Amino acid sequence: MKTNMLIFILIIIVTCFSCSSNKKIVVEQIDSNYPIILVKGKNVNKISTIKFPLVFNISTSFFDKSAKLGSIGYLHNSLLLKKATWMAGAILYNPKSDDLQPVKRLQKISFIKNEFVVYTRHSVSYHKNDELGRFFQSYCDYMNENHKDTLHIESIQQLKNKNPDLVNAFLEGDSLLFRVYYNHNLVPYTYPVRVK
């Protein structure tokens, strides 16, 4: 009887471990307090690019020292674009110090949650939405007066409170591709972006 019970418990443990190991990493998007960055186009009096800061807690689903986070990809599925397109221009940051530094090598992922920041690169398409020009005009004027090419503005949540339709139009339906190396194998994870 005891042997059967031990075998049953062992089968349950192995089954649970094999089910959880199918998903090697755990990704959780959290609130972002980092500033949105506006970039003015060259020789144009318009904002050409918006960089949205997305923040994630990333960890492994079980104790393993071999899991490493590599490069990321970003899928634009914006209402402001003609079609969904993958883009490699999103940049991954590891906020271990006060100053964000881009990640240039594989990052170890552990059972303990690590915070990572992803800055997207969304191009602004004015011919699809005339209201964008009006919305960004005050920022553009400020940049011209102060001779700036880039401007750090409020957080996603603050901008969403002012203009929820704008933030949703850029981020809703987008996805991130995390490339994770596990035991010398590349395992891709796609994560839908949440507007928060």
Q: Of 163, 161, 145, 160, which Cα lies nearest the Cα of 195? A: 160
CB-based contacts of 149: which residues, under 8 Å, 6+ apart? 39, 40, 143
**What digits encode the pLDDT tens for the residues 106-127?**
888 888 898 999 999 888 877 6
Tokens for 142, please give them. 């400020």
pLDDT of 52 higher than 90: yes
Residue 83 and residue 27 in contact, taking contact as beta carbons nearer than 8 Å: no
- Mean predicted confidence (pLDDT) in 30-45: 90
pTM over 0.85: no
- Mean predicted confidence (pLDDT) in 22-32: 83
Helix (H, G, I), strand (E, B) or coil at 92: strand
CA distance 190 to 134: 34
pLDDT of 7 higher than 50: no
Q: Which stretch of 7-11, 33-37, 188-192 has the lowest confidence by average pLDDT?
A: 7-11
**What digits encode the pLDDT tens for the residues 67-91?**
888 888 888 876 665 555 566 568 8
According to the model, what pLDDT value does residue 1 have?
52
